[in-house]
Chain A
Amino acid sequence: MKIRKLVLKEMFQRGNQLISSLLAITLGIAVIVAIKNITIFSGKAVARELDALGANILILPKAATVQDYYSADFQDEEIPEDYVTALTNSDIQGIDNLSPKLSIPIKLHGRKATLTGILPKNEFKSKALWQGTLGIFERPEGCGTVGVNIPGVTDSPQNMVRKRVIDDLGENDILVGSDIAAMLKLQEGSSIEILGRLFKTVAILPSTGTVDDNRIFAHLHTVQKLSKKESVLNAIEIVGCCSAISKGLIQKINRLLPDARVVTISQIVQTQLSTNELMNKLSALMLIVIIIVGGASIANYMFANVYERRREIGILMAMGAQSSWIAKVFLTKAVFIGTTGGIIGYVFGTLMAIFLGPHIAGIPVLPVPILALYGVLLSMGVSFGASILPVIKATKIDPFVIMQEE
């Protein structure tokens, strides 16, 4: 007879006790899974909003300043386009979005504007050299929006525009900032001549309240040709994962591109970091609560179980059971309770998150399968840890004393 069978038979014989002990750990895991699930999606929602603030890392020519970047006044300071290749071919992780830019000042109908060349995402995919290196855009779990597709949210045109992740942009297509569009009375589909070339307006960007409202975005290579600045840029905007920034992303880029100036936009980074920190603290607090409440509940159940079964333990010892075998019986039970509680807790917690998430946090929530693993491991850990003292007590039972109780 295997220990597993013995444990299962005992547990099902004392069904009520089993249900009460499972209930405690299941509810605990369900609550933490629900909170964690909502927190993950809430964190991603916050990250999406923060992403709208724009890049948090800039790669600029050595002599340029952040002021030059915002005013698009680079005075011929340039960096090679090869820096993009260097970044995409590196093993640096934590870059959510990478946007090479070449900005040149232009005049349209007597009004100053900025023509900014950008590289649409399909350019990354089309370059053989960059094939397979798009992993650089994989953000670590819990850090931003990449890898999480919520229909109607992440793929909305407004979000794509805000993040400046443009999938496709033709050679003669332009995206026009709201202010300059209003000034020039441009609409979607209308054409305009810039530096001697006729462009078609494919979209008017929503107002952002930034210098972007006065910019016209065209394909990078078109702008390079028009400005006769082949294969150069004057900025690479990076939306870096804030946790990666705190783990030395800037230093890694600095080492990779020693001739460029790498700067962080500290206010954005700080906001991202403090938001993530708040989320992490909330999860940690819940983790402590579940460990204390769930652990105490299981420990109480296991102590009661050992006391109730002290005679059985004596019988097994009389049959030749060693202390280690007795310990295995109770620890197997702890693992079973932990595993079952973890699985059921994950299912209930996920359902709670899916149904309550939209009401509590105002965001759609989807299941996060990895939480099943974390839930089971946590539940098993709590159950196992809480059972150690009762198990020691079980192995120390003196069968003589128990038999004297007859």
Chain B
Amino acid sequence: MLKAENIRKTFIHRHNNVTGLKSVSLEVKEGEFLSITGPSGSGKSTLLLTLGGMSAPTEGKILWNDESVYHWDQAKRAAWRGKTIGFVFQTFNLIPYLSVLENVRIALKLSGNGAASDSTEILELLEKMKLSDRLQHNPKELSVGQQQRVALAQALVKNPQVILADEPTGNLDPDTAAEILALLLALHNEGKTIVLVTHDPHIAKLAQRNVRIIEGELWCANNADPGLRL
């Protein structure tokens, strides 16, 4: 379904040339719940953004149903990302001047998967996310847990095939984190493909499969220890 073939990614960060990924190959199967673990700066987020069509690899290919995502033009890739991929970030990344309802609405509009005025669908989703009483609130008026639920609603409203979640519980207290993880598990049970980046091995264990990334290299790690290099 979503495949990385020999991905190498270098970039300039604070005037230094950094190699984020070194010849990474990975396949995400349809309906799979995959976790990617690794220490800070190991390349987890870089891999996630590259998989999601947000950043072209220096070498190698990202394949979606055997088509190279980065060989498409920018418009086609943006449209694919809008329809197919739902991102969830650690810092929520909500539009600060829009209300909860508008944040979700704009995500639906940009995806092209539904009419922006499809309010019934949006309201049902927000009710499921326990945000019905916060529709007109701006992000800064919400708790961090509520903000992450809005971010998740943004990702889900367009009914994406793949959810790419980058440390979605990193800023949350344990109870709220448990709520978000429960939501992700429920989504997986509904058949969604989920790639979860986390540095927490306990959370990684919730996934069907875990890979570990260390200094830009991918290791098979179905348990907590670094295992075979992939």
Q: Does A70 contact B (CB under 8 A)?
A: no
User: Is A126's beta carbon under 8 Å from chain B?
Assistant: no
Question: Which residues of A lie under 8 Å from residue B87 when comparing CB positions?
Answer: 318-319
Question: Is the interface on chain A under 10, 10 to 19, 20 to 34, or 35 or more residues?
Answer: 20 to 34
Given A1-B105, A10-B97, A400-B55, answer yes or no on A320-B49 (Cβ-Cβ < 8 Å): no
1/0 per position for A2-14, CB-CB distance to B under 8 A?
0000100110110
* Contacting residues of chain B (104-148) with chain A, CB-CB under 8 angstroms: 105-107, 109-112, 116
Interface centre among B78, B91, B94, B116 (most CB of A within 10 A): B78
Interface assignment of B1: CB less than 8 Å from any CB of chain A: no
What residues of B have a CB within 8 angstroms of the CB of A134 in the complex?
none
For A315, the closest partner residue in chain B by CB is: B93
Nearest CB of B to A93, in Å: 51
Q: What is the chain A residue whose CB lies nearest that of B79? A: A320
- Determine if A399 and B75 form an interchain contact, defined as CB atoms under 8 angstroms apart: no
Residue of A10, A401, A404 with highest tally of chain B CB at under 10 A: A404
Q: Does A325 contact B (CB under 8 A)?
A: yes
Q: Is A123 an interface residue (CB 8 A)?
A: no
- A398 contacts chain B at the CB level, 8 A cutoff: yes
Q: How far is the CA of A323 from the CA of B77 in the complex (A)?
A: 11
Contacts of B35 in A (CB 8 A): none
Are A317 and B95 within 8 A (Cβ)? no
Is the Cβ of A9 less than 8 Å from the Cβ of B97? Answer: yes
- A6 touching B98 in the complex, CB below 8 Å, given contacts A1-B106, A320-B110, A322-B75: yes
Given A320-B78, A406-B91, A400 contacting B110 (CB threshold 8 A): no
Q: Does B159 contact A (CB under 8 A)?
A: no
Give per-residue flags for B49-60: 1 if the beta carbon is below 8 A from chain A beta carbons, else 0. 110101100000
Contacts of B98 in A (CB 8 A): 1, 6, 9
Taking CB atoms, residues of chain B closer than 8 Å to A316 are 95, 106, 110
Interface residues of A in 384-406 (CB under 8 A from B): 398-401, 403-404, 406
Q: Are A399 and B110 in contact (CB under 8 A)?
A: no
Give complex CA distance A321, B50 in Å: 17
Q: Provide the residues of chain A in CB contact with B93, threshold 8 Å.
A: 311, 314-315, 318
User: A400 touching B82 by the CB < 8 A rule?
Assistant: no
Interface centre among B90, B105, B106, B112 (most CB of A within 10 A): B106
- Count A/B pairs, Cβ under 8 Å: 85
Taken together as a complex, chains A and B put the C-alpha atoms of A128 and B50 apart, in Å, by 82
Alpha-carbon separation in the docked complex, A324 to B98 (Å): 21
A324 and chain B: residue at smallest CB distance: B75
Which residues of chain A come closer than 8 Å to B78, judged between CB atoms? 317, 320-323
Q: Are A398 and B79 in contact (CB under 8 A)?
A: no
- State the CA gap A312–B97 with chains docked (Å): 11
Residues of A within 8 A of B202 (CB): none
The smallest C-beta distance from A257 to any residue of chain B, in angstroms, reads: 65
Residues 60-114 of B contacting A (Cβ, < 8 Å):
74-75, 78-79, 81-83, 87, 89-91, 93-98, 102, 105-107, 109-112
Of all chain B residues, which has the CB nearest A311? B93
Smallest CB gap from B160: residue in A:
A320
In the bound complex, do residue B95 and residue A322 qualify as a contact, i.e. CB atoms below 8 Å apart?
no
**Which chain A residues border B52 with CB–CB below 8 Å?**
318
> Which B residues lie within 8 Å of A13 (CB)?
96-97
Q: Which residues of B contact A319 (CB under 8 A)?
A: 81-82, 87, 106-107, 110-111, 154
A272 to chain B minimum Cβ distance, whole angstroms, is 56
Give the residues in chain A near B102, CB-CB below 8 Å.
1, 9
Asked, given contacts A318-B54, A401-B11, whether A6 binds B75 with beta carbons under 8 Å apart, the answer is no
A400 touches B75 (CB 8 A): no
Contacts of B50 in A (CB 8 A): 400
For residue A404, which residue of chain B has the nearest CB?
B13
Chain B residues with CB under 8 Å of A400's CB are 11, 46, 49-50, 54-55
When C-beta atoms are compared, the residue in chain B nearest to A321 turns out to be B110
Cα distance, A406 to B49, chains bound together (Å):
13
Chain A contacts with B in 300-336, Cβ cutoff 8 A: 311-312, 314-325
Contact A320–B112 (Cβ < 8 Å): yes
Looking at the assembled complex, report how far the CB atom of B95 sits from the nearest CB atom of chain A, in whole angstroms. 6
Specify the chain B residue showing the minimal Cβ separation from A399. Answer: B54
Q: Which A residues between 331 and 356 are near B, CB-CB below 8 angstroms?
A: none
Shortest distance in angstroms between A180's beta carbon and chain B's nearest beta carbon? 81
Q: Which residues of B contact A318 (CB under 8 A)?
A: 52, 54, 81, 87, 93
Chain B residues, CB < 8 A from A10: 97
How far, in whole Å, are A315 and B98 apart by their CA atoms in the complex?
Answer: 13
B42 touches A (CB below 8 Å): no
B82 (CB) vs chain A CBs: closest residue? A320
Contact B81 A320 (CB under 8 A): yes
A sample of 17 cross-chain residue pairs with beta-carbon separation below 8 angstroms, ordered by A number, consists of A1-B102, A1-B106, A13-B97, A312-B95, A314-B93, A315-B93, A315-B94, A316-B95, A318-B54, A319-B111, A320-B83, A320-B111, A320-B112, A400-B11, A400-B54, A403-B49, A403-B54
Interface residues of A (CB under 8 A from B): 1, 6, 9-10, 12-13, 311-312, 314-325, 398-401, 403-404, 406
Q: A315-B95, A320-B83, A323-B74 are in contact. List 5 more A-B contacts (CB 8 A).
A: A316-B95, A322-B79, A325-B110, A400-B55, A406-B90
By Cβ-Cβ distance, the 4 closest A-B pairs, closest first, are A320-B82, A400-B55, A13-B97, A322-B78
